[in-house]
A and B are shown apart, each in its own frame.
Chain A
Amino acid sequence: MISCSEMRRLPLHAIAHSRAGDKGNVSNVSLVAYRPEAYKFLATNVTADKVHKLYAHLGASGVTRYDLPLLSAFNFVIDDVLDGGVNASRSIDRHGKTLSYILLGRFIIDMPIDLIPDSSPYLDPDFRWQTY
């Protein structure tokens, strides 16, 4: 049970992966659990509202979450987040292809460590991101 598991504060990057796609001024950002056991934890915690806050500074006007339990995945559809879309944006990344790493890197949460894949560097006690 989750209650028995040690918790650690980490970004979603530790337990899920993602890809962003664009259509007009709308970005869709998927969230796919590495381990099916993480699906319930993500479903409870990664709400559309919380995701909206992460993208609000880019102009996001709304977020819809679609659940795909058979694939241990979610699809977040984020409106008005691409500065007008690929033909209007002044961003270097006009498609918003990099935006998946906002969800993976900036959603930081206490998570049970047994949801992290066994091979993950996050489980290595010496793991640190390179810093100055």
Chain B
Amino acid sequence: MTERVFIAGGAGFSGDRFDAAVPLVEHLANCDGPRYLIFEVLAERTIALAQITKTKDPDAGYSPYLEAYLRPVLEQIKMHHIKVVSNMGAANPLAAAKHINKLAGELGLPPFRIAVLSGDDLSSYVDEQTLLEAPTMEGNQLSGRDLKAANVYLGGDAVANALAMNVDFVLVGRTTDSALVLGPLLHEFGWANDDWDKLAAGTICGHLLECGAQVTGAYFADPGFKDVPALVDVGFPVAEVYESGDFIITKPEQTGGCVTSATVTEQLLYEMHDPTCYVVPDVCADVSGLYLAEDGIDRILVRGIKGSPRPEQLKATVCVDGGFMAEAELSYAGMNSLARAKLAADIVLERMQKSGFNGEIRRDIIGAFSVLDGGDASASQANNLPFDGDYRVRLSLISADQKTAQTLCDELQHLYCSGPAAGGGYRSSVTPQMASASILLNRTLIEPHIAVEVVDR
């Protein structure tokens, strides 16, 4: 019987470090037991952007960084029988699978057996009106808008079913991030689908790995107060999971970063709401009794996770057309710069009003009041700031039409010659937006559509 399973987290978001998996693969090669490497690269809206790409090119719609992530490690993955589970398939896992075997060919490797999981793309089997008219968890209305993508979060059980096809790779579109880890554990340990405590432990293990180095000292350093060694070469995480559900979080030797109770606790609570009820398709996890123990340097043992029965409904993200966002910036520096920056912003706001715009414009003065203040000067320390500074006016709005968005940018640009003294460094962008909402669907509607296809050349 399998005693321990080793799972490494090679990426935590769509643009994570491309060389992060190299030390992980070296580490896994020396582990005695089943070894897995996961890449989590799919944010809430990434899949909708991929869906749009796919409609323009049926061979695209998966992670543009697929080669960047896999080329450095593909040979070692083959040599050491490391299995890969990833959502880099995005809106087109089948095309991603073919790309991987093309890359294998280029590197002189025999093709991989790759399972492609489908069923997350609701637009292929639920009609558009149903998706747009379903009540949203956020309470916003989607009906009447242009549907861009709708994907349901699949669970670890679907990933485990794909692994059962005796494959080297599993590529998915939308699953919960933690399912990339729970799937391999279900496959290796054969945990029953109502062994709630173990399903919860596997889910929380996945939750800790899914953001890459955020559990191993990255996203943590606060120099002088919370120091992290060698962040420049931060090691990505490895979990050693026991059949009991207990697991250790560690990282490869000779990498930077650190694994401590503090780093693990911060990541445990990241993006969590009620700690007694972290809901995924497979289980509701309860971490209120979770405790951590040191098990040597950079090794934290995690125990005490409980679970309760899985939800009857599955969550889906529906993305619709969201208009256009304008962002425009201009710098003021030196003597009296804060006053000049405020004057610049006031001029543009007044001119937008005169032009008939009556929506909201967000005003930041970067360096004085910005992300922590919601662009609201009164809430900040702005009045106590030095007159001699380096400030950047930033104005932003979202409008249904592109023209209004462009007008805001133009108005700030006009200040080059028509504004306060010495404004410089104008930058702007107008970008199409995607609005999104979450809906709940009965799992009986979803489950018949979950399928696995194997690509082996």
Contacts and interface: CB of A to CB of B under 8 A. Distances in A.
Given A17-B220, A92-B371, A120-B225, 15 more contacts: A17-B222, A18-B266, A19-B269, A21-B270, A22-B271, A23-B271, A32-B269, A57-B374, A70-B291, A71-B291, A75-B269, A87-B322, A92-B370, A98-B372, A121-B225
A132 B386 contact: yes
Contact of B266 (A26, A32, A66): A32
B190 to A, nearest CB: 30
Interface stretch (B50-58, B98-106, B164-172, B428-436): B428-436
27 contacts: A13-B225, A17-B222, A17-B266, A18-B266, A19-B269, A19-B270, A28-B271, A32-B269, A57-B378, A68-B288, A70-B304, A71-B261, A75-B272, A77-B273, A86-B45, A87-B44, A87-B319, A87-B322, A87-B434, A88-B435, A90-B325, A91-B362, A92-B370, A92-B371, A99-B372, A121-B224, A121-B225
B374 A83 contact: yes
A102 interface: yes
B257 to A, nearest CB: 15
A92 to B, nearest CB: 6
B389 to A, nearest CB: 9
Interface in B436-456: 436, 438
Contacts, number: 124
Contact of B436 (A34, A87, A92, A102): A87
B373 to A, nearest CB: 7
A90 B397 contact: yes
Contacts of A99: 371-372
Interface string B344-378: 00000000000000001010101000111111101
A77 B290 CA distance: 19
B138 interface: yes
Which 10 residue pairs across A and B have the least CB separation, nearest first? A21-B271, A30-B269, A90-B362, A57-B379, A90-B396, A93-B371, A21-B270, A19-B266, A58-B374, A132-B386
A38 interface: no
Nearest to B266: A19
A81 B122 CA distance: 30
Interface of B: 44-45, 137-138, 219-220, 222, 224-226, 261-262, 265-276, 287-292, 304, 319, 322, 325, 360, 362, 364, 366, 370-376, 378-379, 386, 388, 394, 396-398, 433-436, 438
Interface in A27-53: 28, 30, 32, 34
Contacts of B226: 17
Interface residues of A, number: 41
A35 to B, nearest CB: 11
Contacts of A19: 219-220, 266-267, 269-270
B265 A73 contact: yes
Contact of B274 (A13, A18, A25, A66): A66
Nearest to A26: B273
Contacts of A93: 371
Contacts of B45: 86-87
Contacts of B376: 57
Contacts of B44: 86-87
Given A19-B266, A70-B289, A90 B398 contact: yes
B322 A88 contact: yes
A107 interface: no
Nearest to B374: A58
A127 to B, nearest CB: 9
Contacts of B276: 66
Contacts of B287: 68
Contacts of A17: 220, 222, 225-226, 262, 266
Contacts of B360: 90
Nearest to A13: B225
Most buried by B among A18, A21, A22, A72: A21
Contacts of B288: 68, 70
A87 B46 CA distance: 11
Interface in A87-124: 87-88, 90-93, 98-99, 101-102, 120-121
Nearest to B370: A92
A24 interface: yes
Nearest to B264: A71
A28 B269 contact: yes
Contacts of A86: 44-45
A71 B290 contact: yes
A21 B207 CA distance: 13
Contacts of B219: 19
A122 B366 CA distance: 27
Nearest to B43: A86
Interface string A5-21: 00000000100011101
A32 B138 contact: no
A92 B364 contact: yes
Nearest to B366: A92
A98 B376 CA distance: 16
Nearest to A102: B372
